[in-house]
Amino acid sequence: MKYRHFLLTVVFLLAFEVKGQDNLTRQLEFANSLFSEGRYYDAITEYKRLLFFDSAGIYQYKVDYRIGECYKAGAKLDDAIKSFSQASKFAKNDAELFDSKTQIIRSNILRKTTERAIQLCTELDKDERFRTKMDTIIYWKGWAYMFADDWANAANTFAKISPEHELRKLSEQTDKEKVSVTFAKVISYILPGSGAIYSGKFLSGLMSLGWNVLAGYWTINSFLENRALDGVVVGELVWLRFYRGAIQNAGNFAVEKNLEIANKSLRFLQNEYKGTKP
């Protein structure tokens, strides 16, 4: 009699466990369906509900990882990193651990915390478990440099994967097209307006050069005609103003030019690049 009672208890507990497992599976499927529909914040709610009832932690990694993806899709990158970090603690194998860690890197790239992204890439690079994942690690390090507007380092990084890598060529071309802010200012000291012309602002450069020549002529002519006071006033209020303005504008135009070039490359990455993106 006692043995029969014991068997019934075991059967009941097993049935209860199976039923509970079925409920968790259905809950996961429901949350995943919301995720697939792009209803990320509703999905987060359902994933967290699943975690509450998953006392054994069966779905801990999968759910934390998906919550991270939801936050990332909603541009909540700090929360995404926390969720991916939590997922990495429950990784059951090296593949899951690598996936969660690279998602942390990708989230750092998107929020432009470049130093942290590169640091994490370096840590993965030193981990013997991921020797076969070197190209992937290098790939994301290159993306970190691109998002940091460091196209020269990005080109050098992608070249380690392949000299013919599409992103190496893009990064190298972007770096070549950019202008030197320092050079634009220096040549403007020598010839006002030349820095603007160098940065592609031809009309502004020519106007700046013209005003400086004209103001210089007025100043010098005033002294030659013994109108020293006029020469000082014109020199201080007009010539120096245009001269300093030309230098300042040259730097601003160079920065603006570089921003346009970088944004053009980033738009290509966003709209036309077919490879994996952060």
Q: What CATH number is associated with residue 45?
A: 1.25.40.10
Looking at the chain, how many residues does it have?
Answer: 278
Q: Which residue has the higher pLDDT, 218 or 182?
A: 182
Of the pLDDT bands very low, low, confident and very high (cuts 50, 70, 90), residue 76 is very high
Residue tagged 């380690």 (tokens): 160
Q: Is residue 277 part of a domain?
A: no
Core vs surface per residue 36-58: b (16+ CB within 10 A) or e: eeeebeebbebbeebbeebeeee
pLDDT at position 268: 92
Q: Which residue has the higher pLDDT, 180 or 187?
A: 180
- By mean pLDDT, which of 2-16, 36-50, 106-120, 168-182 is the weakest? 2-16
Domain boundary residue among 177, 192, 219?
177
Mean pLDDT (the chain) is 79
pLDDT at position 216: 54
pLDDT at position 204: 66
The model's pLDDT over 29-45, given as tens digits with 9 standing for 90+, comes to 888 898 899 999 999 99
Residue tagged 């160098």 (tokens): 198
pLDDT at position 55: 82
Q: Is residue 245 part of a domain?
A: yes
Q: Is residue 204 part of a domain?
A: yes
Query: What total of structural domains would you count in the chain?
Result: 3
Domain boundary residue among 177, 207, 224?
177
Mean pLDDT highest for which of 16-30, 146-160, 191-205?
146-160
Whether 61 shows a pLDDT value over 80: the answer reads yes
Nearby residues of 160 by Cβ (< 8 Å), 6 or more positions away = 138
Nearby residues of 113 by Cβ (< 8 Å), 6 or more positions away = none
The model's pLDDT over 219-231, given as tens digits with 9 standing for 90+, comes to 555 545 554 444 4
Q: Are residues 173 and 160 in the same domain?
A: yes
Rounded to whole angstroms, how far apart are CA atoms 28 and 254?
53
Rounded to whole angstroms, how far apart are CA atoms 144 and 125?
15
Whether 14 shows a pLDDT value over 50: the answer reads no
pLDDT at position 167: 95
Q: Are residues 185 and 173 in the same domain?
A: no
Range of the domain at 40: 1-90
Segment 155-165 shows an average pLDDT of: 94
Segment 174-200 shows an average pLDDT of: 73
**Element (DSSP H or E) covering residue 269:** helix 240-271
Q: Is residue 158 part of a domain?
A: yes
Q: Per the structure block, which two tokens stand in for 138?
A: 């290098």
Whether 212 shows a pLDDT value over 60: the answer reads no
Q: Which residue has the higher pLDDT, 250 or 205?
A: 250
Rounded to whole angstroms, how far apart are CA atoms 262 and 48?
40
Whether 116 shows a pLDDT value over 90: the answer reads yes
pLDDT at position 17: 43
Q: What is the C-alpha end-to-end distance of the chain, expressed in Å? A: 64
pTM of the shown model: 0.78
Domain boundary residue among 147, 177, 207?
177
pLDDT at position 3: 47
| Planar angle of CA 111, 104, 64, nearest 5 degrees | 120
Q: Are residues 11 and 73 in the same domain?
A: yes
Q: At what angle do helices 40-53 and 2-36 cross, to 10 degrees?
A: 170
Whether 69 shows a pLDDT value over 80: the answer reads yes
